[in-house]
Amino acid sequence: MKDYTQREIQRENDYKHKFSVKNNRIQQNMDRYVEGTRKQQQRQLSEELKLENSRQMYNKKLENDFYHQQSLRNHKQSQAYETLCAQVKDRNLKNQFTEYVNDMERQNIRQKTIECNNIQKSIHNSTKKRQMMYKEMLKDQIEAKKKLRTNGNMTAVEKQMNRAELKAYKNYDNQLYSFIPGINHDKFIDKGKFYKKKSSMASEGEQNRRLQELGCGRSFNLHKNREKHNFSASILPMNEPYNGTPLFINDNVNFTIDNSTKPKPKLRIPSVENSPYKAKHTQNLSMNGGSVIPTGLDHSMKLQSLNNQNSHRRGLNNPLYSSFDANIPFF
């Protein structure tokens, strides 16, 4: 019994000891947990404080940087505004100066334009005045000439009538009133013997010689064939006007053959229908369609002469013959 009691007591003691050890372990664990939690909290608090401090310091730094950048930005903006104001002011001054210069130039141009217009007007007025003076002078001269023409010894009609009567008298025409229409006054004889050449002009043969030396002529073909066949014409037909006076074609031209070195022109002047010289002037002429064919030539030379005359009529007027042709009497 005692043993059982001891065993039970021992077992209960063991049980108590076991629970006490277990409680101590739990208590220790509890203490360690509490201590660890406290330390962890402290650690967390310290870390939070550090983070907060660092955050505050960073925010303060950011704020300082922001203020610094803002101040720099404000300074730059103020400088830019001042620069812009200065530029605007300079531009306004430049625009004002340019406008002033343009106004001055416009005024100068306007003044010069007015002066030029005045000068042109004065020149025009003076020119017009001189023209009017010249017109009046010409008018006075015309009036004076008219008065002289009408108040002279003979009037223009009387002079014309006297000129016609003098011409009729020189040609042995006894018709006193030859200028009256309806009276035939065209019966003239050869005027060559009454014609007096100008002293300042060379003779007919001299003019032909000079033109032949220069190689000039009315037609190149005629000049070439004239040297080939050794014949010449003293007067070539011509239909061009000279000094406004129409010249009639003289188809009655006689060509002669000359075997000498120097060609000798021969002129046959025809008369009118009722002239007694008609038979004499036309006996050596052979007319073919209004063209002159030299007598005494064979058939080929006649054709060549006819072609030369036709080519001359189609040609242009030679100015070297103008003064010579003007003195040829045509009837």
Digit-coded pLDDT (tens) for 61-91: 888 888 888 889 899 999 999 999 999 999 9
Are the C-beta atoms of residues 190 and 271 closer than 8 Å to each other? yes
Sign of the torsion formed by the C-alpha atoms of 246, 195, 270 and 283: negative
Q: Which of 240, 231, 236 is nearest to 253 (CA)?
A: 236
pTM, two decimals, is 0.25
Domain boundaries, the chain: 75-150, 153-185, 197-326
Q: What is the pLDDT of residue 316?
A: 41
What are the C-alpha distances in Å from 211 to residues 208, 228, 249, 260, 324?
5, 17, 22, 19, 11
Q: What is the pLDDT of residue 168?
A: 66
Q: What is the pLDDT of residue 154?
A: 60
Are the C-beta atoms of residues 243 and 326 closer than 8 Å to each other? yes
Cα 130 → chain centroid: 33
Residue type for position 19: F
Q: Which of 263, 273, 278 is nearest to 213 (CA)?
A: 263
pLDDT tens per residue across span 291-301: 444 444 444 55
